Structure 1
Amino acid sequence: MNGHRPGRGLPDVVITGIGMVTPAGADTGTSWKTLCAGRSAGAPDPRLADLQVGFSCAVPGFDAELLLGTDSRRMDPFTQFAIVAARAAVADAGLGEGSWDVSRVGVVLGTGIGGQGTWEEQGGRLRDRGPRAVNPLTVPRAIGNIAAGSVAIDLGLHGPSLTLSTACAAGTTALGFALDLLRADRCDVVLAGGTEAAVTPLVVTAFDRLKALSRRSDDPVSASRPFDEHRDGFVLGEGSAVLVLERARDAAARGRRAYARLLGYGAASDAHHLTAPDPDGRWAEVALRAALEDAGTSPADIALVNAHATSTPQGDAVEARLIERVLGQDTAVTSTKGVTGHMLGAAGAVEAACTALSIADGVIPPTANFEAPGPDTGGIDIVHGTARHVPVPVAVSNSFGFGGHNAAVVLGGV
């Protein structure tokens, strides 16, 4: 394995900083500890108290004003999460003022929904109190690009600032785009990831009407159960993850050790259905194989899959068959969504961050709430119960989204 497609001469790209704000914890260290312990974040949510599905996986102990000052009042939570994660990632990478050329630092974030809470709140004001009650900053709080723009403003970055929206694949799509920016020498550093704050009454109701959510209101902590025979839908989560990406030679020149290399990216479209995956997983397989080819790896190289596995009956079954078909039964498989729930556009970034930590620490977090496979997910090696302490030289992180968006990244050791 040489870290890139043979003959292309592309530079190695590494992950030197990780910032996470997740339902597993409001910072990276707490999130990783909770994920490795397999403790689910599912719990009743007072924001959803009057709904049929009244629980979620919420970020615990997140005080936006304490972390961001009074400026946080002008931000939707999806922007607040992104800025806190980005600051943490940059500090973790040992970068900041005076240590980089700000004209060569980019921001690429994914989001599925954007500032939905702001739209709902201000729509209610318009309905109940009239036009003069609507906040003049409604649009710049809520539009999908504003998290990436706000990260650039907060850190004083002048490279490309972009937002990608490929539904639940958005965080992974952002990593792939960032990889291309670095390979093409358009940036020296890219902050890449995803952010989402869609635990709102309208979004939860809409997903429930679609019959996508778990109805385990009597036991929310065990509701998100990827690959399990009794799974009945996903639990909505929220938060952000931002990764600092740079070329390996640049990280080495400043004496910075990386968590992992970002070896390759692949994407494909089902072109099948608005919400349902292609039942054969044909185009998800195309995306996975494209990522492997881009990375210069073979299926036999892969030691771990951080699966998309949202805890839905159909989606998990399609992915299980895909993994078994392409990577075989001996590849370890985990889904962090058993702990975090489904973070939509942030999910792929969180899962890539966890994959990088698995490679760096030699630890695979367990799939929370998994007890036994059903006949449609049997055959793959699902890590569950306790974390597995093994070397992880090369790993894959999968993401799939409404509209048929399929994306995968391959990560490897340094």
Structure 2
Amino acid sequence: MQGLAARPRAAAARRPGAGQRVRLRRRERIGGPGGGVVTATAVITGIGVVVPPPDAGGDWFDPRTALGPRGYRYLPPACQFLLAAGRRAVADGGRLDGVPEERRAAVVGTNTGLAHLFADMDATVTSGTADALSPALAPFFAVNVLGTRLVSEHAVKGPFMTVTSPRVAGIEALGAGARAMAAGRCDAWIAAAMEHPLDGPAGSGAVAMILERPADAAARDAHVYGTCAASALLAPPSTLATAGGRRRLGEVLGSVLGDAAYQEVDVFGDGSATEEAVVSALTDLPVGAVRRAPAGPGCLAPLERLARLLTEAGSARERLVLAVAGEGHIGVARLAISEPTARGAG
């Protein structure tokens, strides 16, 4: 995600010598063309969704049934959800076996994936000592460890990262992988979001998508759900507090949307002033009805919505999904949905 531009001082014309540090100046602004907006495009060939059904209880997911009888029991639930979603995405047609292992990548987004584990660790340490922490779970103190089992299972030996920006990390996973592909670092990647919030099964689960180059998908005659372009913006609340900042937000969103005719727009937010500014800016742009929904406790809802749009019959061809956080993070996903088929409409 970009928006706080970092530039060398104008006076630093010569290269630094060995051991010297380059001092950078940061400016707070909304990213725009040539100043922070990063957009990349790829096609989606596999989708896996693991979320609780309505009115589900706490036992809605059985790792033995979804993953196997051995080796998964002591993994944090968010990791279990992620593994199950990844397997479904591969089984759905997002094949990785034709891609060299070193050309595979993965980007995983989460906000609350370790909320339960951290709460249990805090309780264990405050009521006793750190020596009582489970050796099987202690490594997950680092949030990026959640995705390493997915990487191992699918032999991903290219770029791997975990993103945690509030509300928008799922959409960021789409864009980060596409940028790695555009830079020549991978040919296909898994983009995923996983959550396990403290307040019940609602908001729990995982969504995984496999994306690749359009030419590669066509070469193997893969089913293509659609094309996805993801952008990450940063609009600091202090900037949006001014009329000029809000005007600049509208200009940047307009440049990201381009000339496409988006009949319907989904905005997942947190009820913040940033969300209000984004919705206000959209009303001045040539888009259709804006549907607002709570983002929930993490970053899963926007990616789940993208998956539903891609797999349900009757979705408009051009769709726009945004995730907005009060801190100023804005994720924009632009879909061009393929013509529905028997597989895609299921």
Say yes or no: TM over 0.5: yes
Does 1:349 find its partner at 2:303? yes
- C-alpha distance after superposition, 1:86-124 (max 9, x if no partner): 11111112515x433121110001112431211111221
Given the superposition, is the C-alpha separation of residues 410 and 94 from structure 1 closer, same or farther in structure 2, using an over 3 Å criterion? closer
Does 1:82 find its partner at 2:36? no
Q: Tell me the residue number matched to 1:303.
A: 263
- C-alpha distance after superposition, 1:275-316 (max 9, x if no partner): x98697557545533432xxxx325x1122122145x37566
Given the superposition, is the C-alpha separation of residues 332 and 272 from structure 1 closer, same or farther in structure 2, using an over 3 Å criterion? closer
Question: Match of 2:317, as an amino acid?
Answer: P
From 51, 64, 67, the equivalent of 1:22 is 51
Question: Match of 2:259, as an amino acid?
Answer: S
Q: Tell me the residue number matched to 2:232.
A: 267
Structure 1 residues without counterparts, runs of 5 or longer: 26-40, 44-56, 202-234, 364-391
Alignment of 1:48-127 (within 5 A): 61-68=60-67, 69-96=69-96, 98-127=97-126
Q: Tell me the residue number matched to 1:192.
A: 191
Given the superposition, is the C-alpha separation of residues 244 and 284 from structure 1 closer, same or farther in structure 2, using an over 3 Å criterion? farther
Identity rate, percent: 23
Deviation, 1:163, is: 0.7
Greater strand percent: which structure? 2
Deviation, 1:153, is: 1.1
| Paired residues of 1:266 and 1:290 also in contact (CA < 8 A) | no
Distance 2:40 2:272 in 1: 40
Q: Which structure has the larger Rg over C-alpha atoms?
A: 2
Structure 2 residues without counterparts, runs of 5 or longer: 1-32, 34-38, 339-346
Q: SS at 1:83's partner residue?
A: helix
Distance 1:307 1:120 in 2: 30
Q: Tell me the residue number matched to 1:325.
A: 284
- TM-score, with length taken from structure 1: 0.64
Question: Match of 2:85, as an amino acid?
Answer: A
Distance 1:17 1:303 in 2: 25
Given the superposition, is the C-alpha separation of residues 245 and 290 from structure 1 closer, same or farther in structure 2, using an over 3 Å criterion? farther
Distance 1:321 1:60 in 2: 41
Distance 1:150 1:100 in 2: 19
Q: Give the alignment's Cα RMSD to 1 decimal.
A: 3.1
Greater helix percent: which structure? 1
| Paired residues of 1:288 and 1:407 also in contact (CA < 8 A) | no
Distance 1:173 1:277 in 2: 21
- C-alpha distance after superposition, 1:225-271 (max 9, x if no partner): xxxxxxxxxx9622211111001111111111211101x33222222
Distance 1:283 1:197 in 2: 36
Deviation, 1:321, is: 2.2
Q: Tell me the residue number matched to 2:212.
A: 246
Given the superposition, is the C-alpha separation of residues 130 and 142 from structure 1 closer, same or farther in structure 2, using an over 3 Å criterion? closer
Alignment of 1:211-230 (within 5 A): none
Distance 1:285 1:356 in 2: 27
Equivalent pairs counted in the alignment come to 298
Between stretches 79-88 and 345-354, larger displacement belongs to 345-354
Deviation, 1:58, is: 7.0
Question: Match of 2:298, as an amino acid?
Answer: L
